[in-house]
Amino acid sequence: MRLPSIEELQANLRVSMARHKIKASDLARKCNMSKATVSKILAGKLKNYETIRKVSEALDQIVVNEASSETIQEIMIRRVVALEENDSVANAKKIMLSKNFSQLPVITSDGVLRGLVTEQSILFSPEAIYVRDALSADYAVVSPDKAIDETRQIIRNVQALLIQSHGKLLGIVTKSDFLK
């Protein structure tokens, strides 16, 4: 296995720092070096392999810590278009078509989450008059502090994630929200 060259390490550092918006001063602090030393590495003026490797490992730690601390509330849609359980299926269809939605959360008059009505659940419930009679079982509920990495695993199996706290609907995340 070939070790990356000094130039490759330096280029990877620059790209990763730019991608994750990490400042040289933050990186210097993480690896207990001066900002000048980190700047020299980034400029290609310092060619000590061990020092560059140490900075690279510190950057990896910063990136991993950032990723693991992101929660679903950071990407969830907060202004949720929701239906009340006594709303008609006809109204649900109208909203779905006009807003290009494939699902809508259903809540009680008190704002408590009841479920999700989807295009598929409506198609499979042609006799349903009210959305409470056409609820889908194809959704999951998570708390707003759930890590994004964990929710990415959950969303693979459902159309939408409903974010709730104390029974109240706070937001929604669909698969397309993970693509942004």
What are the structural domains of the chain? 6-69 (1.10.260), 73-179 (3.10.580.10)
CA end-to-end distance (rounded Å), the chain: 35
Name the pLDDT band for 143 (thresholds 50, 70, 90): very high
Q: pLDDT value at position 91?
A: 97
- The pTM of this model reads 0.60
SS3 134: coil
**Integer CA distances (angstroms), 72 to 34, 65, 67, 78, 163, in order:** 35, 16, 12, 11, 8
Q: What are 100-138's pLDDT values in tens digits?
A: 999 999 999 888 899 999 999 999 999 999 999 999 877
Q: What are 7-28's pLDDT values in tens digits?
A: 888 888 888 888 878 888 888 8
Q: In sequence order, which residues have a C-beta less than 8 Å from that of residue 146 and are 6 or more positions away?
A: 71, 72, 163
